[in-house]
Amino acid sequence: MKQSFLTSTTSKFILAILLVFGLSFTTKADIIRLVVKEDRASCTGVAPQTCYQVKYKNSKDWELFYSNIEGFKYKAGYRYVLQVIRTKRANVPADASAYTYKLKKILKKQKMPQHAGVWSFVTKHKWKLIQMNGLTQENSPAYIVFDKVKGRISGNAGCNGFFGAYEKGNEMIRFKQLGSTLMACPDEGRNKLEHDFMQLLSGNTFKYDVADQTLNLYQGERLVLMFGITDQDK
């Protein structure tokens, strides 16, 4: 009887040890080196968004990075070399990365030369609203067009056309003197879209970047407006 009790106790102890070591193994952290590109790229997770472009130790090409890096304050226009603590999740939530990432150290931060043609590229296209304050805008009628010579903008906010001026600095853009036509908007959804869109633009300053086929506007580090490239004549 005593031997049976000892065997049972020993088995439970061994099982507990295995569980502890098993859990430790699944949540083991390692330190990796990441190169983060100076501009982000459009990508699609749960919704359209922008992702870091990174290179790992053995990467030949830039890869999309869908996760966040805790403690990392990214600024467009700079290329970073990072030491990152990567930890494997014990329980992976749906639509989430198998790892969490935390900044250990910035090894290098280098200002990259801006391409003179970036803003020329923006002004050559019509930009359709595809995301606002984190919400995807399905079949949105809202769009914006930039006049590089006059420093003016025009477009549609949902029901009404709008117009105004903009000032552009280094990676920053400010919208001012906005106005619109006064057509009645019986569609409740479009009316709300127009109100929120115009309120967000009017008198505000944004950081911007161009990632592949998207024009992205930020307040602080938060992406508030995303526009997708479309044809001028549509």
Q: How confident is the model at residue 24 (pLDDT cuts 50, 70, 90)?
A: very low
In sequence order, the 6+-apart residues with CB closer than 8 A to the CB of 201 are 164, 175, 178
Nearest to 209 by CA among 151, 168, 149: 168
pLDDT tens for 76-106 read: 888 999 999 999 988 877 767 889 999 999 9
pLDDT tens for 133-160 read: 989 998 899 999 999 889 999 999 999 9
- How far is 101 from 87, CA to CA, in rounded Å? 7
**pLDDT averaged over every residue in the chain:** 84
Nearest to 135 by CA among 196, 214, 52: 196
Q: How confident is the model at residue 34 (pLDDT cuts 50, 70, 90)?
A: very high
Model confidence at 132: pLDDT above 50: yes
Q: Which CATH class is domain 117-230?
A: mainly beta
pTM: 0.61
Q: Which residue has the higher pLDDT, 138 or 170?
A: 138
In sequence order, the 6+-apart residues with CB closer than 8 A to the CB of 48 are 42, 130, 131, 136, 214, 226, 228
Per-residue model confidence (pLDDT) at position 127: 96
Q: What are the extents of the domains in the chain?
A: 29-111, 117-230
Per-residue model confidence (pLDDT) at position 14: 54
Per-residue model confidence (pLDDT) at position 234: 47
